Amino acid sequence: MAGPWLVGSFPEPYSATPKIGSASVSVPRDCPLAAPDAAVKRGLDIVLCLFLLVVTLPIVLLAMVATWLETPGSPIYEQIRLGRDGRPFRLFKLRTMVRGSSTQTHQEYVTALIRGEAAAHAGMYKLVDDPRITRVGRILRRFSIDELPQLINVLKGDMSVVGPRPPLPYEAELYTDRDRLRLKVRPGLTGLWQVSGRATTSFQQMVDLDIVYWQSWSLRLELSILLRTPRAVVARVGAA
């Protein structure tokens, strides 16, 4: 069951409470983007998503085969994440870890990260040389190929092409009121944080960038982030 951070996190009124697995949240109806802006953003999402699904399909299929050949189990896995206003949804990814891996080490590091107590590893605020990650998985992560199945989440409306990264429920349990403001829009595949250093930034810097993104949203900003994304992926800044 979701923790007490969900109570009173967002303005009234609230709608019904959806449930996915063990996650349960109260969902408000407000949106920080004006209706015309939201419509433009959603239209851009659909057009880009359909294009990228066609262009990246061979890459995804090759990655699935490589993942399946290295370790047994499905190359695609689902994970509960929190989207806009804390709504839980099933996020799709290419599997980059050995099946059945424990999350304890990650939870401990994330707890320290959010509290501002985590040390940077090789200049990045994330676990580096994680033994749970497979050889193929490291390559997929390095070039963000493991994120490509989330184009399905974009089509479904769970995500946007551009937006904050969706947190895991146990991460959001640790959020302050201000940290929760990053959940005011749909999460994205790329975003202002992703093209501004990614894991080389601290947690609070990430929150600042995510809030600035939706408070300053414009079509120009959206297109700027999209144009900067390929370079960020190729440069692999903040990726491991």
Domain annotation covers residue 52: yes
The first and second tokens of residue 191, run together, are 């975003």
CA atoms within 13 A on the CB side of 70: 19
| pLDDT tens digit sequence for 123-161 | 566 766 677 889 999 999 989 999 999 999 999 999 999
Return all residues near 236 (Cβ < 8 A) that are at least 6 apart.
142, 143
Amino acid present at 214: W
Give bridge partners of residue 204 from the DSSP assignment.
none
Q: Which helix (DSSP H) or strand (DSSP E) does residue 171 occupy?
A: helix 169-172
Give bridge partners of residue 97 from the DSSP assignment.
133
Residue 93 has a CB neighbour count (10 Å cut-off) of 18
* Nearest alpha-carbon partner for 110 in 30, 203, 215, 209: 203
Q: Count of domains in the chain? A: 1
Domain span including residue 70: 33-235
Kindly report the pTM of this predicted structure.
Answer: 0.80
Domain annotation covers residue 8: no
Return all residues near 199 (Cβ < 8 A) that are at least 6 apart.
124, 125, 126, 238, 239, 240
Alpha carbons 236 and 240: distance in angstroms, whole number: 8
Domain annotation covers residue 15: no
> pLDDT (tens digit, 0 to 9) for every residue of the chain, 240 residues total?
333 333 233 332 222 333 333 343 333 445 678 888 999 999 999 999 999 999 999 999 999 999 999 988 899 989 999 999 999 999 999 999 887 777 787 788 888 888 887 676 655 667 666 778 899 999 999 899 999 999 999 999 999 999 999 999 999 999 999 999 999 999 999 999 989 887 788 888 899 999 999 999 999 999 999 999 999 888 765 455
φ/ψ of residue 84, rounded to 5: -55, 130
Domain annotation covers residue 5: no
Alpha carbons 161 and 45: distance in angstroms, whole number: 6
